[in-house]
């Protein structure tokens, strides 16, 4: 049962790609809830299922089994065109490692694009674009094209574009993966402002333990399953560098477990 403050409820979610005997279990009965205004960091070794989860949440792939509810509405009800496109547009914002901006358009045109494509009235589009430009601190650069902006500024445009239709949840796949540390911190602080000022719920995939320290909660994946999760307040009082070491150690122990189980199944296969 999803309570009123829950934005996302994932229950028993599985995704199997391909057919036996070559099928791959990318997600294996995952349960995950996100409360309104919560930032959750997803971490785990390569191939553990993080991107697959984002793709299912974003309606880009159907689950093999299980349920996804966003704002108490069940995804499956909408998993056909054109409903799935509308649901995705209204409920989900996407941000990627590479900013995927349109170079021929200015920053403000890129930000306004989802509303223009949705046929929203010009006045509303202009007002919301202005609001987003201010929120991401790019009012002065509104007429610049992506090639005239730094990586961090381009990512801020991408975030503004993802949030302009006020989605229930923002999904970000390695949003700082292509940025230097100064620009990464700017983007992470922007996420915190989005949470604090808009109550935005945000789910971020990252490989970087320092980035993960910006989450209210860190969820660790291995082999398509959640194997560990903890709230930031569990390690409160320590500075960010110490917290990132704590996260890195948890991550390393999970990766070692993966390797141990891989070599076990390999030797079992040999015998
Ligand atoms: N379209 C697909 N067809 C077949 N297998 C897939 C497909 N997409 C992902 N997989 C497999 O599913 C598993 C999970 O992949 P996924 O990309 O979700 O992992 P990840 O944790 O995001 O990895 P990374 O950190 O390297 O991006 C992997 O074994 C991958 O090879």
> What confidence tens digit (pLDDT) does each residue in 180-195 have?
999 999 999 999 999 9
Structure tokens at 252: 């390393």
The boundaries of the domain holding residue 112 are: 36-61+78-270
CA of 51 to the centre of ligand 1 (A): 7
pLDDT value for 2: 45
CATH of the domain at 198: 3.40.50.300
pLDDT value for 91: 87
Whether residue 260 is contained in a domain is answered as yes
- What ipTM score was computed for the predicted complex, to two decimals? 0.97
Indicate the number of domains in the chain.
1
Whether residue 16 is contained in a domain is answered as no
Pairing mode, strands 73-74 and 201-205: unpaired
CA of 49 to the centre of ligand 1 (A): 6
pLDDT value for 81: 67
Whether residue 207 is contained in a domain is answered as yes
Whether residue 3 is contained in a domain is answered as no
pLDDT value for 1: 43
pLDDT value for 43: 96
Q: Along the 271 residues of the chain, how does pLDDT read in single tens digits?
A: 445 588 999 999 999 999 888 899 999 999 999 999 999 999 999 999 999 999 999 888 889 999 999 988 887 666 666 677 777 777 899 998 888 899 999 999 999 999 998 889 999 999 999 999 999 999 999 999 999 999 999 999 999 999 998 999 999 999 999 899 999 999 999 999 999 999 999 999 999 999 999 999 999 999 999 998 888 777 665 788 888 888 898 889 888 776 556 555 555 554 4
In angstroms, the CA 233 to CA 241 distance is 15
CA nearest to 224, candidates 66, 73, 87: 66
Question: Which of 20, 26, 262 to probe ligand 1 with, by most ligand atoms within 8 A of CB?
Answer: 26
Whether residue 168 is contained in a domain is answered as yes
Whether residue 200 is contained in a domain is answered as yes
For atom 5 of ligand 1, the residue with the nearest CA is 17
CA of 15 to the centre of ligand 1 (A): 10
Whether residue 5 is contained in a domain is answered as no
Structure tokens at 94: 């996407």
CA of 47 to the centre of ligand 1 (A): 5
Whether residue 217 is contained in a domain is answered as yes
Structure tokens at 230: 């903890």
In angstroms, the CA 43 to CA 28 distance is 16
């Amino acid at each position: 049962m999803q309570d009123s403050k829950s934005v996302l409820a994932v229950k028993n979610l599985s995704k199997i790609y391909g057919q036996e005997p070559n099928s791959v279990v990318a997600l294996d009965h995952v349960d995950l809830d996100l409360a309104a205004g919560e930032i959750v960091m997803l971490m785990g070794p390569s191939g553990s299922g993080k991107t697959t989860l984002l793709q299912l949440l974003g309606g880009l792939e159907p689950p093999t089994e299980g349920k996804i509810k966003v704002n108490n509405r069940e995804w499956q009800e909408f998993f056909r065109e054109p409903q799935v496109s509308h649901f995705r547009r209204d409920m989900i914002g996407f941000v990627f490692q590479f900013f995927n901006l349109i170079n021929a358009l200015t920053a403000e045109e890129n930000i306004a694009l989802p509303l223009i494509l949705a046929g929203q009235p010009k006045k509303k589009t202009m007002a919301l674009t202005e609001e987003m430009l201010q929120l991401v601190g790019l009012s002065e650069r509104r007429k610049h094209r992506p090639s005239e902006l730094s990586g961090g500024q381009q990512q801020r445009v991408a975030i503004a574009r993802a949030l302009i239709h006020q989605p229930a949840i923002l999904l970000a796949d390695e949003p700082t993966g292509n940025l230097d540390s100064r620009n990464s911190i700017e983007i992470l602080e922007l996420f915190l402002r989005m949470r604090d000022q808009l109550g935005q719920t945000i789910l971020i995939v990252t490989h970087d333990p320092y980035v993960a320290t910006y989450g209210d909660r860190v969820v660790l994946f291995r082999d398509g399953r959640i194997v560990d999760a903890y709230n930031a307040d569990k390690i409160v009082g320590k500075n960010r560098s110490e917290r990132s070491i704590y996260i890195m150690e948890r991550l390393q122990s999970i990766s070692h477990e993966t390797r141990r189980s891989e070599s076990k199944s390999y030797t079992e296969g040999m015998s």
